[in-house]
A and B are shown apart, each in its own frame.
Chain A
Amino acid sequence: MLRMENVSKTYRHRGQMVTALNEASAEIPEGDFVSIVGPSGSGKSTLLLMLGGMLSPSHGRVFLEGKSVYDLNLNDRAQLRREKLGFVFQTFNLVPYLSALENVQVPLFLSKTDEKEQKDRAAALLDRVGLGDRLDHKPRELSVGQQQRVALARMLANDPAVILADEPTGNLDPETSQQVIGYLEEFNREGRTIVMVTHDPRAAKRAKRTLRLQSGAITCQGAGEEDCWEPDSAVA
Chain B
Amino acid sequence: MKLRTLVLREIFERKSQLLTSFLAILLGITVIVSIKNITYYSEKAVALEMDSLGANVLVLPKSSTLQDYYAADMQGETIPEEYVTQLAMSDLAGLDNLSPKLSMPVELQGKSFTLTGILPKSEFQAKAAWGGAGIFSRPIGCGASVGMMGSEDKKTLARKRVIETLEDNEVLVGADVAGKLGLKEADKLEVLGKTFSVTAVLPQTGTVDDSRVFAHLHVVQDLSKKGPVINAIEVIGCCQEISKGLVEKVNRLLPDAKVVTITQIADAQIRINRMMSNLSLMFLVIIVFVGGASIANYMYANVFERRREIGTLMALGANSGLVLRIFLLKALILGVAGGIGGYVIGTILAVILGPKLAGVIVLPMPLLAVLAVGISVALALVASYFPARRAARLDPCATFQEV
Partners in one complex: yes
In the complex, which residue of chain B has the Cβ closest to the Cβ of A167?
B401
Do A109 and B6 touch (CB < 8 A)? yes
Which 9 A-B pairs have CB atoms at the shortest separation, nearest pair first? A82-B317, A97-B13, A105-B1, A78-B319, A109-B1, A93-B312, A45-B402, A81-B317, A45-B400
Tell me, in angstroms, the Cα distance from A158 to B315 when the chains sit together.
Answer: 13
Q: Inside 8 A of A95's CB, which chain B residues have their CB?
A: 309, 312
Contact residues of A between 141 and 156, Cβ < 8 Å to B: 154
Bitwise interface map of B from 202 to 214 toward A, beta carbon under 8 Å scored 1, else 0? 0000000000000
Contact residues of A between 44 and 62, Cβ < 8 Å to B: 44-46, 48-49, 52, 54-55
Q: Inside 8 A of B318's CB, which chain A residues have their CB?
A: 78, 110
Do A115 and B400 touch (CB < 8 A)? no
CB within 8 Å of B: which residues of A?
20, 40-41, 44-46, 48-49, 52, 54-55, 74-75, 78-79, 81-83, 87, 89-91, 93, 95-98, 102, 105-111, 115, 118, 154, 158, 166-167, 170
Q: Inside 8 A of A90's CB, which chain B residues have their CB?
A: 401
B308 sits at the interface (CB 8 A): yes
Tell me, in angstroms, the Cα distance from A121 to B352 when the chains sit together.
Answer: 55
Q: Inside 8 A of A118's CB, which chain B residues have their CB?
A: 1
CB within 8 Å of A: which residues of B?
1-3, 5-6, 9-10, 12-14, 308-309, 311-322, 396-397, 399-403
Do A49 and B397 touch (CB < 8 A)? yes
Question: What's the least CB distance linking B67 to chain A, in Å?
Answer: 78
Q: Inside 8 A of B309's CB, which chain A residues have their CB?
A: 93, 95-96
Q: Inside 8 A of B9's CB, which chain A residues have their CB?
A: 97-98, 102
Cross-chain contact of A46 among B312, B322, B403 (Cβ < 8 A): B403
Do B2 and A87 touch (CB < 8 A)? no
Question: What's the least CB distance linking A75 to chain B, in Å?
Answer: 5
Do B400 and A111 touch (CB < 8 A)? no
In the complex, number of A-B residue pairs with CB atoms less than 8 Å apart: 94
A sample of 13 cross-chain residue pairs with beta-carbon separation below 8 angstroms, ordered by A number, consists of A40-B402, A44-B402, A54-B396, A55-B403, A74-B320, A78-B317, A87-B399, A95-B309, A96-B13, A97-B14, A108-B1, A109-B6, A166-B401
Q: Inside 8 A of A91's CB, which chain B residues have their CB?
A: 401
Question: What's the least CB distance linking A221 to chain B, in Å?
Answer: 21
Q: Which of B10, B318, B321, B399 has the most CB of A within 10 A?
A: B399
Apart from the given pairs A41-B402, A111-B317, 13 other A-B contacts in the complex at a CB distance below 8 Å: A44-B402, A55-B403, A75-B319, A78-B314, A79-B317, A81-B315, A93-B308, A93-B315, A95-B309, A98-B6, A98-B9, A110-B317, A166-B401
Tell me, in angstroms, the Cα distance from A91 to B402 when the chains sit together.
Answer: 12
In the complex, which residue of chain B has the Cβ closest to the Cβ of A18?
B403
Tell me, in angstroms, the Cα distance from A93 to B402 when the chains sit together.
Answer: 15
Q: Inside 8 A of B12's CB, which chain A residues have their CB?
A: 97
Q: Inside 8 A of B5's CB, which chain A residues have their CB?
A: 102
Tell me, in angstroms, the Cα distance from A30 to B10 when the chains sit together.
Answer: 38
Cross-chain contact of A87 among B1, B6, B14, B315 (Cβ < 8 A): B315
Question: What's the least CB distance linking B114 to chain A, in Å?
Answer: 83
Do B316 and A81 touch (CB < 8 A)? yes
Question: What's the least CB distance linking B9 to chain A, in Å?
Answer: 5
Tell me, in angstroms, the Cα distance from A9 to B308 when the chains sit together.
Answer: 22
Tell me, in angstroms, the Cα distance from A26 to B267 when the chains sit together.
Answer: 86
Do B314 and A54 touch (CB < 8 A)? yes
